[in-house]
Amino acid sequence: MGLKSLQIGKHTIKYPIFQGGMGVGISWDKLAGNVSKEGALGIISAVGTGYYQKMQFVEKIAHSKPFEAINFYSKHALNEIFKNARKICGNNPLGANILYAINEYGRVVRDACEAGANIIVTGAGLPTNMPEFTKNFPDVALVPIVSSAKALKIICKRWAARYARTPDAVVVEGPLSGGHQGFSYEDCFKEEYQLENVLPQVVDEAKKWGNIPVIAAGGIWDRKDIDTMLSLGASGVQMGTRWLGSEECDARAYRDLMPSVSKEDIELIKSPVGYPARAIKTGVLEAIAKGNAPKIRCISNCVSPCHRGVEAKKVGYCIADSLGYAHLGNREYGLYFTGANGYRIQKIQPVKEIIAELVQD
């Protein structure tokens, strides 16, 4: 069967495929713009925009790092990213991914709406007040990320009571995704928390609130995986790791790194955010093991759960700095997130070729 188009709020996506938002600087104008150009939904990450084009838009201090959240989440840079993505994809739907755990969340949501985002996707917490920041942008679709039916129920109840609305879609993410997980370390390995078991529960809950489209995410790699998720009730899928092997990936270091990654190179690690994260055992993780990791100074003030570097010192690295190093291509101190399937990237392909493979019957 051919893949059907996907309606998210007022926006129609030709193919029911979201490109997961990946920061710092993995999915910006080149990747998201080209994914949207080819008929899927490109999603720009709003995380760490202060690193865009080597900091030309932001105040900076020692070591050329964005200074405070106002610069780490640079409005000027986000505008430029959207403007340049639009040069690629035209008027096709284009999304923004904004983590709920960041400092200045509400401001960044408004920034993304003003920059031209058609769809806002938010995970890393329960965004119970998300509509508060988009009330002046009625055409912007809102899509929370959850890891359980219970989480979706909480969001729907709060939104219905406070804002008389429900999500335009919901992403349910299983524990095979890259970066931060919505589960404890132990739960990531339990059968009941795997995507294929959680997805039908979320679909059932979504139906109670008006048939909200459910987007399945976490470990989805090829057309077979897409068909499996659709057969379980999903309306579409979100894929992140597959795009690390794209020519248009905005963090060039991944194009050099990924074809050499083995299954054993990928592991769940501790994060200053408080949840486990999936990453490649290289860069800053090796530096920590050798005892020569960079000194931690909270310069960017990126996420509230880190408590201004307190949690970073417990795990041995600053997440803002380490992801920034990765974007800049620093293999010594970079932190390189990937999903569980990252080792399956054998070659670097154009976005157009990847999407052609995914949509071919």
Q: Is the pLDDT of residue 234 over 60?
A: yes
Cα–Cα distance measured from residue 28 to residue 46, given in angstroms and rounded to the nearest whole number: 8
Taking CA atoms, 177 is separated from 52, 195, 209, in Å, by: 25, 10, 26
How confident is residue 283, by pLDDT bands cut at 50, 70 and 90?
Answer: confident
The confidence score (pLDDT) of residue 241 equals 96
- Residue 355: how many CA atoms within 13 Å on its side-chain side? 23
* pLDDT in the model for residue 1: 63
Q: Which residue has the tokens 């008027």?
A: 91
Q: Which of 19-33, 62-76, 257-271 has the lowest mean pLDDT?
A: 62-76
Lowest-pLDDT range, 22-26, 192-196, 260-264, 271-275? 271-275
3-state secondary structure of 112: helix
**CA-based nearest residue to 47, from 300, 329, 317, 334:** 300
Position with higher pLDDT, 274 vs 157: 157
Instruction: Give the model's pLDDT for residue 298.
Output: 81
Which of the given ranges, 70-79, 145-154, 272-281, has the highest pLDDT on average?
A: 145-154
pLDDT in tens, 178-204: 888 888 889 889 899 999 999 999 999
